[in-house]
Each structure stands twice: as C-alpha cells, then as structure tokens.
Structure 1
Amino acid sequence: MKSYEVNFDGLVGPTHNYGGLSYGNVASQSNSQQSSNPKEAALQGLAKMKALMEMGFQQGVLAPQERPDVAALRRLGFSGSDAQVIERAAKDAMPLLVASCSASSMWVANAATVSPSADTADGRVHFTAANLNCKYHRSIEHPTTSRVLGAMFADQKHFAHHAALPAVAQFGDEGAANHTRFCRDYGQAGVEFFVFGRSAFDTRYPAPQKYPARQTLEASQAVARLHGLSEDGVVYAQQNPSVIDQGVFHNDVIAVGNGEVLFYHEDAFLETDKMLAELQAKLGKRGGNFQSICVPRSQVTVEDAVRSYLFNSQLLSRADGSMLLIVPEECRGNERVWQYLQGLTSSGGLIREVKVFDLKQSMQNGGGPACLRLRVALNQTELAAVNPGVIMTAPLYDTLTQWVDKHYRDRLSENDLADPQLLLECRTALDELTQILKLGAVYPFQIN
C-alpha cells in the first residue's frame, strides 16, 4: 500500500501581528511593535501550499485560532461584554491583550507530535497536542488545536488523539518542532527522533544560561509512551545549550530530517557522534540506511543559520528519490548561506535542488517554512479517512485566497488590537472558514 508524508500548513490568522512575545526567538524580538500585514502573510502561506501541491506533494491546511482570546482574558479577571473585556485589557494590561491576539498558531510544527501507524503499538496514527507552556500566548492554543485536529482526523479506527501533557515546566512540550521521523518508506516502521533542551529531573544534563530550553526530556518520553512507541524505534538527543543561547529556540531552527536523511549544523547537538551511531543502528534494523549532512561552522555560523533560517526548511523526497529543500528568501540574502547551498546542490549529493519562497511576514515574526507545517505520514487508507475539506486542491486554494481578500486587513498595529471590531471580523471569518473546510463547530464562540 502506498504511503505519503502529508504537509498540513497553518493558515495565518486575521490577527497576525508583531507583538515580540517570544523571548529567545531573535526575529520575534527584533521586529516587535512593527506594523504587520495579515492579508499578505496569509497569501504568502497559501502560495507555498499551492506550489507544493502543484509539484505533486500531498498538501493540507490547518485552520487558525480565534483571536483575541476573550475567554483567556476573562480567566485573568477582565469582565463585562466582549467589547468591554478588550477595552479594559487594553487600558489596564496591554501586554495581556497583545498575548491574547497572537496568531502564533500559524506555526503548526508546534501544534502536536505525530506518530504514524507503522510505529505505534495499536497501528493507529497518534496525535498529542503540545502544551507550549513555556510561553503564555502559546499555552492557550492546545484546547482549540485538539478540536481542530479531531475534526480533521476524526475516524477513531485510524486516528488516536491525546490531550496535552500537564501544563507545568517539567513537561514543557513544543510538539513536532523538536521531533523528526526517519524511515526507509513512510509506510514502514521508522525511528522517531526526539530532541530536548533540558531535563527537568536529571541534573547531569547541562542547561542554557540565557534563553529557556523549552522542550524537556521528560515530555518527549511521555509522548513516546502515549503513542506506544517501542524502545528500539526511539532516539533521544539533547540540543546544544550554547546554540539555544544564540537563538535556536527549537531543534527545527538548527536541523531538519526526512526519510533516511538528517541535515544539521555542526553545533546542533551534544554527543553528536553517539547520537548518529544510534540512529544508524536503529534505522538499519528497520531496513533503512541512515545518512547525515553536516553543515560545518566554518562555512555557516550559528548566527547565519538563525538569521537565514537555513534549517527551518522543508526537506522533501521526490518520486525519483532525489531530495528538494524549501527555504525562505532570507537564505538567498545571506551570502555565506547561499554560497553553501549552491555548493550543496551542485555536488551531486542527496539534496539536488533548492527552491526559495517569500515568507517575509512569517519570518519577521520568527517562523520559516518548517514552522508553518505539521507533517503526517499516512497510508492510502488513512489518507482517504482524513476530512477531505482540509486537503489542498486548486479550487480550495482559489476559495481560500478569496476568503482572505474578503476578511483580512492589510495593516495591523498594536493599537488596532484594542478595536472590538477586530474580534467580530475574526469570528465572522472563522465561522465561514469552518464551513469551507468542513470542520464543524471547533471555536469557543461556536460552541458556547
């Protein structure tokens, strides 16, 4: 039976703004308070989805969240009508209003961790929504994320959904941004690679000194248990604390993997040789031939990697066996990174082609091509069981671009977040979107 890796890209929400909310994310902090363009952001994301679909890749879409999150503001003591809640938050606690308006759910690499049926004990595809509890503005996402994923992957015969892990620092979970799967074929048993920044309980593991390590070893282990993964199908590796302190807040900012290949920076991990040997041995037992591409610091520095998002790219396998790397425009703008990529593709190695996409609106807020997609490996039967409304087609692309043009603003500043009309615009847009994507009632305003 044929199997696929389906990329479900996050649709940028109507409140896309530069709130500078993510400490440790250099781009997010450096562009704080600038005016954003939600319409352009959404259309840039849709253009990438359409392009990959036209290249022959299976492509889906994942809906954004309701923002501002009035219910979250009510839990923090603001009362009255929805408009009054927004007005009072803007007057008394503007940073909380900005957090409640975050459109960061667009980066669906943080939505959940996904294990394909070939790896799990019960033969179903497993999803665990990420608690994202390192940042308040992201910690409020997982209830809606769970409902949206449940509406997309509803057939319990094929799909299993787990609630987010306990919302405490010891189980900080950032989802697929710190998870990669290696396999010979998407439908065959593979090795799931969990990268953590620190251990909550074992002091033998070093921790960064400047920025927080968002993913814990204990969270990764809990997800592996929930998904019924076998010990010989899992590898855990620690992210280098020094690169976290240089702005590498997730593993997908310093490494990307797909199929049998890991593309990573020389400084990405601790005990790299040991990790590579374990991946090679475990994948070898499952019929695979693990291969790695190390980018040396002498050619691309960690700073270059962070500013260009070289590794926050999509590594895709084409039908002829060659690999394609999808990178943001910022890679072409960095001389050292672009020179490295030209040499990489001309060497006749594993990665044969690089394609560049303009994702400036997302990049300025700290998310590149890899942040924008959640990968789900599915066999033909499972793909047929996915809600067809979320699978990208040419007509759906046209419908969604018209929807964005109709509902999105082309400029948004922090002061605009205090406009109660923005909430009404968002709810009107999302109510229509759930009908387009055939999701049913997934948002709080539709349920309560």
Structure 2
Amino acid sequence: MSAREFNFDGLVGPSHNYAGLSFGNVASFNNVKSASNPKLAALQGLAKMRALAARGFGQALLPPQDRPNFRLLRSVGFTGSDAEVLAKAAQESPVILACAYSASPMWTANAATVSPSADSADGRLHFTAANLNNKLHRAFEHAQSARSLRAIFKDEQHFAVHDALPGTPAFGDEGAANHTRLCKDHGSAGVEMFVYGRSEFDTSISAPKKYPARQTLEASQAVARLHGLSAERSVYIQQNPDVIDQGVFHNDVIAVGNANALFYHEQAFADEAGALDQLRRAMAGVGADLNAIRVDTAQVPVADAVASYLFNSQLLSKDNGKMALVIPQECQEVASVAAYLQGLVASGNAIDELIHFDLRQSMRNGGGPACLRLRVALTDAEAKAMHQGVVMTEALYHTLVAWVEKHYRDRLEPADLADPQLAIEVHTALEELSRILGMPGLYDL
C-alpha cells in the first residue's frame, strides 16, 4: 500500500522563552535567562514549513500548548487568582514559574512515538504520547499532546492514540527523538529502531555519569507492545553513554534515519557493530538493505556535531529516489561540519541535496529541524481521515503569519513571565488559533 510521510512541525507559541531548564541539553543551558523573540521564532518555523510544503513534501503542524501551565502552579501550592498565582510563584520560586512557561512543546519530536499502520498488528496508525518525566517543565506536556493528537487523528477506524506510560523513572519516555523507522518505502512494513539510554531493571547496562539518560529500555518495549509491533521488526539499541555525557541528550542529536538510510555518528551507539548487525538482519526481513552512512569522529568531533546539530536534521525522500538533508544554518558555520557536508553531497550517496534554514531562535533553546517535527507516514485513506485544518498550505501560511504579527511580542525577558498580561495575551492568541485551525475545544482554557 502506498503511503506518504508528513512532518508535523511544532508551531512556536507566544511565550517562547529561554529558561535553560534542560540539564544535559548544552545549547539550552548556555542561553539561560537571555531575551527571546517569540515573533521571530514563530516566523522562522512557519517559513520552514512553507518552504517544504512548496517543494511537495507532506507538511502539517501541531499547535502550541497553553502557557503558563496554571495546573502545574496550583498543584504545588500557589493559590489565588491567576495574577496572584503568578506573583507568588515569581517571588517564591522563579524556576517553577519558568517551568510553567516552558517553550519546549514546540519540539514535537518529543510529543509521541508513531508507528504506521503497515507495522501494527491491527492495521491502524498508533501514537503514544511521551511522558517526558525526566524534567518537571516537560512532565505535564503529555496531556495536551494526547488531546491535540486525538483532535487531529480522531477517526478510530484508522488511528489509535495512547495515553502516556506511567510517570515513573522505570518508564522514562522521550518520544520519537529516540525512535527511528527504517523501511523499503513508507507504505510497506518497516523496522522500528528504539534507542535507549539506560535500563531500570538490568543493572548490567551502563549509564552515563554526568547527564541523565532520559529514555529507558523498558519504556521502549512498552511502546512497542502498545503499538502491536512484531518482535522480529523491533530493534532495541543502547545509546553510547559517553556521548550522552557530551550533550547528546537524545538519539536524534547523533543519528537520523529515513527509508533505508541511517545517517549516524561513529560514537552514536554503545555497540556500533552489534547495532548495525541487528538492523541489517531486521531489514532483510522486510526486503530492504540498510544504507549506513557513518560519520567518523576524525571528520566531525562529537562537540562539533552538537554545536551544529548536524544530526538533528531531517532526511526527506525525493521523487528522484534520492534524499534531501534539512539542516540549520549553523551547519555552515562549523568548519568540520561544512567540509563534511560538501563531500557528502558530492559522494554520490543517497543524500544529494542540502536545504538550509535559519532556526536560531529554536537552536538557542536547544532544538534543531528534527526536534521541531513529528514524522507520520499516512496512507491515502489516513491522510483524508485526519483533520485537514493543520495541513500547511499557502493560504494557511499567510493566515498564521498575520496571526503571529497580531499576537506575538518581539522581545521577552525572564522578568516578563510574572506579568499577568502575558498570560492573557497567550490565552487570547490560542483561542483565535483554535478557530483558525478549525479545532474548537482544543484547549482547556
């Protein structure tokens, strides 16, 4: 059965800010408490969506989440009116207020894990919202993520949206950022690769020493069960704990795959040879050969890969059978990465084109092109069954640009989070957005 991949990019919200809350994410931590530009961030993301849609790639969006998260603030003891809650939080615990205003839902690669209908036992497209329980500022996201996914993929004949796994350390789940699907084509059965950082119950598996390993083996196995995946086509690979300690907080910062190609760094996995052997054997079972594109440390040190977000790029299949690599502008500014990419495109491998975008507002918060999108392979029937209001078109682009220009600030300082007017502005903007997208009741405002 034929299928087409859609990338659902996160629409950056009106309260985009740099709180530096993500220990282990070097870029996020380095820009803590600096001023942000929500308007520019949203426009940069929309420009990316528009350009890829214009090229004929399947492109849609996931709406931002409501901020501040008053449910979080009230659950930890801040009481009174909304304005009083904000004032008390700002005075007593600014870091909790920053958590309630987190901009991280823009990175929809963490929203869920997705298994296409070609892989599942019941022939439906499955989503499991990620619990993101490693960080307070992310641990509340899954409720709205599931709500948004159910609003878009509401037809239960075609889709199944699962709630998040139990919010305990044993089931730490970071979504598609640690999941890659490899296949012959998007419509045929594929191999689902789950990359984990640690195990809760198997003490023989080594863990990083400096930064937390956010994805557990147990969570990955649970998602595979929920999605009804075949054991022969599910591969579990341990991320190299040493690169986690170098700022590679998710697998999508050190590897990216598409169709039968896996573009990865030499140090990505704890056992590189074993990982590739597992993948090759599983791929043979679906009639495909693995195209492993390895980047040596001598070519691109891990520090340069993290600084440029080379692997936090998108691999997109083109009509000519080749692939385009969607990269942030920073890849052209890190000498080793720029030199490597020039040689890659000239090598005659699967990747024959580079597409650059300026995503500095996202990059400064610790997320590149791959963080901004959730990949969903849809058959023709599934594409028709999903909600059409989120599919990027030229008309929707211009409508959303006008909406951003109307509602977004062009500068946001950390102190502004205590301003009750900001919360009102965000709520007003999101109410209008739900009407624009044709999704009434999307938010519990």
Contact 1:126 1:161 in 2 (8 A): yes
Give the Å deviation of 1:81.
0.7
Cα deviation per residue 1:355-391 (whole Å; 9 max; x = unaligned)? Answer: 1110000000000000000000010000000100011
Q: For 2:138, what is the secondary structure of its paired residue?
A: helix
Structure 2 distance, partners of 1:112, 1:197, is 17
Structure 2 distance, partners of 1:286, 1:311, is 26
Give the Å deviation of 1:444.
2.0
Structure 2 distance, partners of 1:93, 1:213, is 26
Give the Å deviation of 1:21.
0.3
Cα deviation per residue 1:156-202 (whole Å; 9 max; x = unaligned)? Answer: 00000111000011100000000000011111000000000000100
Contact 2:67 2:100 in 1 (8 A): yes
Structure 2 distance, partners of 1:114, 1:293, is 24
1:279 and 2:259 correspond? no
Structure 1 distance, partners of 2:5, 2:283, is 18
User: What is aligned with 1:136?
Assistant: 136
Q: TM-score when scaled to structure 2?
A: 0.99
User: What is aligned with 2:113?
Assistant: 113
Contact 2:39 2:410 in 1 (8 A): yes
Paired AA for residue 386 in structure 2: V
Contact 1:151 1:440 in 2 (8 A): no
Structure 2 distance, partners of 1:398, 1:417, is 29
Structure 1 distance, partners of 2:119, 2:234, is 10
Gaps of 5+ in 1: none
Give the Å deviation of 1:250.
0.1
Map 1:291-440 onto structure 2 (within 5 A). 291-440=291-440
1:215 and 2:215 correspond? yes
Q: For 1:85, what is the secondary structure of its paired residue?
A: helix
Map 1:242-281 onto structure 2 (within 5 A). 242-281=242-281
Structure 1 distance, partners of 2:76, 2:246, is 33
Structure 2 distance, partners of 1:348, 1:109, is 29
Q: For 2:137, what is the secondary structure of its paired residue?
A: helix
Structure 1 distance, partners of 2:244, 2:2, is 38
Q: For 2:123, what is the secondary structure of its paired residue?
A: coil
Contact 2:322 2:352 in 1 (8 A): yes
Give the Å deviation of 1:442.
2.1
Structure 2 distance, partners of 1:171, 1:444, is 27
Map 1:56-75 onto structure 2 (within 5 A). 56-75=56-75
Q: For 2:120, what is the secondary structure of its paired residue?
A: coil
Structure 1 distance, partners of 2:113, 2:201, is 22
Structure 1 distance, partners of 2:288, 2:385, is 28
Paired AA for residue 253 in structure 1: V
Paired AA for residue 324 in structure 1: A
Runs of 4+ more than 3 Å apart:
none
Give the Å deviation of 1:438.
1.4
1:80 and 2:83 correspond? no
Structure 2 distance, partners of 1:326, 1:201, is 38
Q: For 1:98, what is the secondary structure of its paired residue?
A: helix
Cα deviation per residue 1:274-305 (whole Å; 9 max; x = unaligned)? Answer: 11111111111111121100000001000000
Give the Å deviation of 1:2.
2.8
Q: For 1:139, what is the secondary structure of its paired residue?
A: coil
User: What is aligned with 1:163?
Assistant: 163
Contact 2:183 2:288 in 1 (8 A): yes
Structure 2 distance, partners of 1:442, 1:396, is 18
Structure 1 distance, partners of 2:7, 2:439, is 18
Of all paired residues, the percent bearing the same amino acid is: 61
Paired AA for residue 54 in structure 2: E
Structure 1 distance, partners of 2:416, 2:213, is 33
User: What is aligned with 1:288?
Assistant: 288
1:173 and 2:173 correspond? yes
- Alignment coverage as a number of residue pairs: 445
Contact 1:153 1:387 in 2 (8 A): yes
User: What is aligned with 1:102?
Assistant: 102
Contact 1:407 1:429 in 2 (8 A): yes
Structure 1 distance, partners of 2:401, 2:76, is 36
Gaps of 5+ in 2: none
1:145 and 2:145 correspond? yes
Contact 1:20 1:365 in 2 (8 A): yes
User: What is aligned with 1:444?
Assistant: 444
Give the Å deviation of 1:113.
0.2
Q: For 1:237, what is the secondary structure of its paired residue?
A: strand
Structure 2 distance, partners of 1:284, 1:352, is 25
Structure 1 distance, partners of 2:347, 2:407, is 46
User: What is aligned with 1:241?
Assistant: 241
Structure 1 distance, partners of 2:404, 2:289, is 44
Contact 2:2 2:188 in 1 (8 A): no
Cα deviation per residue 1:191-244 (whole Å; 9 max; x = unaligned)? Answer: 000000000100111000000000000000000000000101100000000000
Structure 2 distance, partners of 1:116, 1:254, is 24
Contact 2:104 2:138 in 1 (8 A): yes
Give the Å deviation of 1:96.
0.5
Contact 1:148 1:439 in 2 (8 A): no
User: What is aligned with 1:25?
Assistant: 25
Q: For 1:377, what is the secondary structure of its paired residue?
A: strand
Structure 2 distance, partners of 1:120, 1:3, is 15
